[in-house]
Structure 1
């Protein structure tokens, strides 16, 4: 095992192969970029407080504080330990398995192909062009996913989920009070399941679509842009059900008091462009910007609202 103690801004290059990356920091930012060539590289551009411990054992590269374990990470709320900050950027082989944990810090993961897991107590997470399976868990931090093609799992207490140009075949998201805006442009059948207690849910899918739809809210409003779907209920509970196309995919959305909107996605060549969603830099590079704003699609003339 090789070990470094980082107490000031520093750059490291790892000649040994890296197949797994573990990062855990408090305050600051983490940027992870998957690359096709070259050895793994680390840049710590800012650091305050206790040193970061960097270790390489076998194929696993770890950048973390000694007192911040991965197990039970979302319960780590020791305010005395918040007197620290680090800005960390890493370039690793695209197929690296990535685990990132942040407390009060932002995390950006871009261009990875291996499994990715991000845990956050506070602080937002941005995923750009990730093709491997993704699992995210937050307490109050939001998650933005742009052009993610792998399976996506999201769980939070009050954090929001925003998916832009989602082309993966599987999305499962659960939150208590966070809102969900999911913009889908899949290449084939999808399995989408969204659950919230009080958060609003908005889903945009292509037209024509090919999915079985079931959307329920106990006391919220519903909005439906597809004439082939049935809207039932006038007081209290509302439901949108039906089949679009052959119904080979599944779309299920459930909320207790939040509203549900099922929206029609315009053809990609007609889709408007929006300002940049986020940056996911490798040192000196910038991530692509979000091409679509799913929060403000054009409502068709046949839209039904209850």
Structure 2
């Protein structure tokens, strides 16, 4: 029979959950949410601080839910438009690495690490940090920053004014959309292929590619500057628009970057052999327009 348990937490405490946890759903306001994937042992919750109404926890049929009653009754649009929540919680959740994770936050900082299942994080103003996730990742933010390292699956990011930084990405497709936030993408030379699409209105976009990149490139901005560290690519100024086009290697992958007024930079990274020795912020060398 499935395990069905519920808690109402108004003070700091720890809970170890009996039975499997295959999915985690967290809905939080202010404070911090820390989700850690573990290879063994029971799923656990550690509540180190709470202010405001009690935090409700439910474990039913492999699904672990952490949040508030009034958030469960409202649409996500209603959560985001509410001006004052008057609550905060600091919670750490340890779940099996293969579990799927969904986190929806208003003002809370979120850290997710070591998850092999799918991860989805939606936020308004809280910053998001993602580390060592091998499953597919989706993030949506209004003004919070998103910083990610070592992602191994497909990545989909949407932001309004929050900056997005993804480094050492070894997975498949990456798609990022931003209005005014800056976007920085760093692709590992150990990635099996390149399929990258970035769109922005006024945010700057910088993409660092391995020296052995194999992709067709199409990048441009309407009024912003562009720079390119690859001599085999063409940098053109045509009717005011600036474009970087061409093919790297055999052109099997795809890189497409589009922005209206932001700057675009294509940076050259190290080869796979000296990847660990190169600084993440290595400057571009090449043509600038």
TM-score by length of 2: 0.94
Q: 2:48 corresponds to which residue? A: 45
Out of 11, 21, 26, the residue aligned to residue 23 of structure 1 is 26
- Extract structure 1 runs of 4+ deviating beyond 4 A: 268-273
Structure-to-structure mapping, 1:235-246, within 5 angstroms: 236-246=240-250
In structure 2, C-alpha distance between the alignment counterparts of 1:125 and 1:269, rounded to whole Å: 31
Out of 150, 155, 159, the residue aligned to residue 156 of structure 1 is 159
Structure-to-structure mapping, 1:95-110, within 5 angstroms: 95-110=98-113
Q: Quote how far apart the aligned CAs of 1:209 are.
A: 1.2
Does the aligned pair in 2 maintain the 1:142–1:161 contact within 8 Å? yes
- How many residues align structurally? 284
For structure 2, the 5+ residue unaligned runs are none
In structure 1, C-alpha distance between the alignment counterparts of 2:248 and 2:169, rounded to whole Å: 19
SS at match of 2:84: helix
Structure-to-structure mapping, 1:87-236, within 5 angstroms: 87-185=90-188, 186-233=190-237, 236=240
CA deviation string 1:206-265 (max 9, x = no partner):
002100000011110000000110111066210100000011100000000001000000
CA deviation string 1:70-125 (max 9, x = no partner):
974255232231x1110000100011010001111110000000111000011110
C-alpha spacing 1:246/1:59, structure 2 compared with 1 (3 Å): same
For structure 1, the 5+ residue unaligned runs are 274-290
Indicate the RMSD between aligned Cα atoms, in angstroms.
1.7
C-alpha spacing 1:39/1:249, structure 2 compared with 1 (3 Å): same
In structure 2, C-alpha distance between the alignment counterparts of 1:214 and 1:39, rounded to whole Å: 48
CA deviation string 1:105-161 (max 9, x = no partner):
110000000111000011110110000000000111111110011111000111111
Q: 2:251 corresponds to which residue? A: 247
In structure 2, C-alpha distance between the alignment counterparts of 1:164 and 1:54, rounded to whole Å: 34
